[in-house]
Amino acid sequence: MSERVKSTEKSAAGDVPQPGSSQPGQDGAEQKSAPKDTLKAAKAGAALPSLGFLGMLRWAWTQLTSMRTALFLLLLLAVAAVPGSLFPQRPANPSVVTQYIKDHPDYGKLLDSLQLYDVYSSAWFSAIYILLFISLIGCVVPRAIAHYKAMRSQPPRTPKRLSRLPEYGTLVVPADAGIPASDAIEDAAALLKKRGYRVEVRHDDGARPSLGAERGFLKEVGNLVFHTSLIGVLVSVAIGGLFGYSGQRILVEGDTFVNTLVGYDQFNPGTNFQSSQLQPYSIQLDKFQATFDRESQGKFGQPIDFTADVTTRENPGAPAKKEVLKVNDPVTLGGTSIYLTGNGYAPVVTVRDGNGNIAMQGPVVAKLQGDNYYSSVVIKVPDAKPDQLGFAGFFLPTAFVTEEGISFSGDPELINPQLSLNSYYGDLGLNKGAPQNVFELDVKDLKELNSRNLEAGGITLAPGNTYTLPEGKGSITFDGVKKYVGVDIHHNPGQLSALIFALLAVAGLIVSLYVNRRRVWVRTGTHEDGRTMVEYGLLARGEDHRLAGEAAALRGLLSRRWNLSDDTPETAPSNSSPAGSPEPKKDQ
């Protein structure tokens, strides 16, 4: 207490009249209020000590490493991830982000300044992630140290009054059984050890030996494993985000993909990805087979199975290996998993320009648009002379025409393939440096050659047919049809460890929920008539609805060990000694 408080108390005390004295104008009520005034003056003069810089750091660390803070940060991390699914992300598709900003000029740039297009690598998301990581470590490490010390320490001392414990009972061993108090306590210790308790027998009480037993340390171990596994999951996810990558590639039958950056149609690298991580393996699509339902009326023609026969090589000098790629059955190669995600048809065409030269030849991937593999087709021929050529239309595996002249696909199999196109010429805009979608043709700067609205009409081709373009612009030939597949390629170095830690977290949580930590104490003593008096008590660390059952099981084991019948009288010893009461009485 400060000098100010002391002086205030002194002055206040000096104003209080002494017993037997009287002062004019002062009654008993004023005398009673004097101590209250003294207390108020003392509180008013009290001052809290300053924490200082180190004290503030300790307080901040205590708050950060509390379990409440860790749970709050975990919830905050989940909320912070929501914008990543609401707005396009630059690492996944930068062109979409650019277009999004152009379409929303009022708030598009504001969202970009808030890093909402780079959520998972933003400063605020990383801050939450790191704080959660530190909070969990600061929470788990001290608890692990404390639990290690608790496991190495002896059970707590035997309480003087076992009758105050939640579960309490007594047993009486007859004098003619020949079981003294020291032997009885050893028997109890042996039984508790068989039940998994850590037991310490205490003979230093003389005529009243006792024991302390404890079990259920796995409960805290499970809790620690759960929280440690959460840290492991966070680390594994961070490793996957930093050093992993994913990409997509479309493979036409006969094509080969080599695991290099230029080999991907789309590539999403991790934050710390290096091109040296790519192992130069190769995979070639030999044949693709789709199986369709031909029995069910309601689902006739629906695909039921996809099989891709591929040839793989771990590196350029490795021997070729035949493998089968199926849906949900990826091929593992070079530390990556290759998944089959899509398929379709690729019409093979040959385009000759106005000079009669082959300007483009090969398969063109048709994008699925409707039922029975109705697909859109876009063909861009930038090498055509004297004008660049473009084609847009659709491909039908099994073509049918309605009475109104509308074509549609009646079956997904290649029964009557047909290629229907409109043709254009002019500048395709491929030399301007702006990215274009290969499945779309921008016709605003092109002139139309063929369409249903022109005199020349549209282009309709069957395999082997050739169509000559108007105005001497060239020709197009439908050579045949190949199949293609779309594959997703994923490399996540933290995927396996994340799975292991997740399983450990579930196991630790189950252990922490179903294992109970309990303590048992047993005290024995010898009555004046030679009977051995036994009392026991059980206490749970936390809620344990099975504690009564454990007490009943312990009583049954002790009774069978000493051959006590169910009608053997019990004795309720006094709080100081198991043999303190000569008259037996039943438990309350």
For residue 32, pLDDT over 60 is answered with no
> For residue 151, what pLDDT is reported?
86
Measured distance CA(68)–CA(62) in Å, rounded = 11
Measured distance CA(197)–CA(211) in Å, rounded = 11
> Six-digit token pair at 376?
């859109």
Least confident range of 3-12, 51-60, 140-149, 251-260: 3-12
Helix (H) or strand (E) run with residue 34 in it: helix 28-45
> For residue 23, what pLDDT is reported?
45
> For residue 285, what pLDDT is reported?
95
For residue 582, pLDDT over 60 is answered with no
| Count of helices and strands (H, E) across the chain | 12, 24
User: Please, are residues 118 and 92 in contact by the beta-carbon 8 Å criterion?
Assistant: no
Please state the φ and ψ torsions of residue 491, each to the nearest 5 degrees. -130, 115
For residue 22, pLDDT over 70 is answered with no
Please state the rounded mean pLDDT for residues 57-75. 86
For residue 374, pLDDT over 80 is answered with yes
- At 300-353, the pLDDT tens digits run 888 889 999 999 999 888 899 999 999 989 999 988 999 999 999 999 999 999
For residue 579, pLDDT over 80 is answered with no
Look up residue 401 and give its DSSP letter. E
> For residue 259, what pLDDT is reported?
92
Measured distance CA(448)–CA(387) in Å, rounded = 12
For residue 135, pLDDT over 80 is answered with yes
User: Please, are residues 434 and 456 in contact by the beta-carbon 8 Å criterion?
Assistant: no
> For residue 31, what pLDDT is reported?
53
For residue 581, pLDDT over 60 is answered with no
Measured distance CA(98)–CA(269) in Å, rounded = 19
Burial of 131 (0-12, 13-18, 19+ CB in 10 A): middle
Please state the rounded mean pLDDT for residues 222-239. 90
The sheet carrying 282-292 orders its strands as: 256-258, 282-292, 303-313, 321-326
> Higher pLDDT residue, 59 or 580?
59
Please state the φ and ψ torsions of residue 545, each to the nearest 5 degrees. -75, -10
For residue 40, pLDDT over 80 is answered with no
Measured distance CA(284)–CA(62) in Å, rounded = 58
For residue 408, pLDDT over 80 is answered with yes
For residue 568, pLDDT over 80 is answered with no
> For residue 405, what pLDDT is reported?
78
Look up residue 49 and give its DSSP letter. P
- At 69-107, the pLDDT tens digits run 888 998 998 899 898 888 888 877 777 888 888 888 888
> For residue 397, what pLDDT is reported?
94
If you average pLDDT over every residue of the chain, what do you get?
Answer: 85
DSSP letters along 111-178, please? HHHTTTTSGGGSHHHHHHHHHHHHHHHHHHHHHHHHHHHHHHSPPPPPPS-GGGSSEEEEEEE-GGG-
> For residue 498, what pLDDT is reported?
93
Mapped onto helix, strand or coil, the DSSP state of residue 218 is helix
> For residue 12, what pLDDT is reported?
40
Look up residue 263 and give its DSSP letter. G
> For residue 99, what pLDDT is reported?
85
pLDDT band at 33 (very low <50, low <70, confident <90, very high): low
For residue 401, pLDDT over 60 is answered with yes
> Six-digit token pair at 457?
């009409």
For residue 390, pLDDT over 70 is answered with yes
> For residue 26, what pLDDT is reported?
47
Measured distance CA(537)–CA(548) in Å, rounded = 11
Please state the rounded mean pLDDT for residues 238-242. 86
pLDDT band at 207 (very low <50, low <70, confident <90, very high): confident
> For residue 461, what pLDDT is reported?
93
- At 423-446, the pLDDT tens digits run 999 999 887 767 788 888 988 889
How far is residue 329 from each of residues 267, 283, 493, 500, measured CA to CA in Å? 22, 16, 19, 21
Q: Is the pTM of this model over 0.85?
A: no
Least confident range of 31-45, 250-264, 292-306, 459-473: 31-45
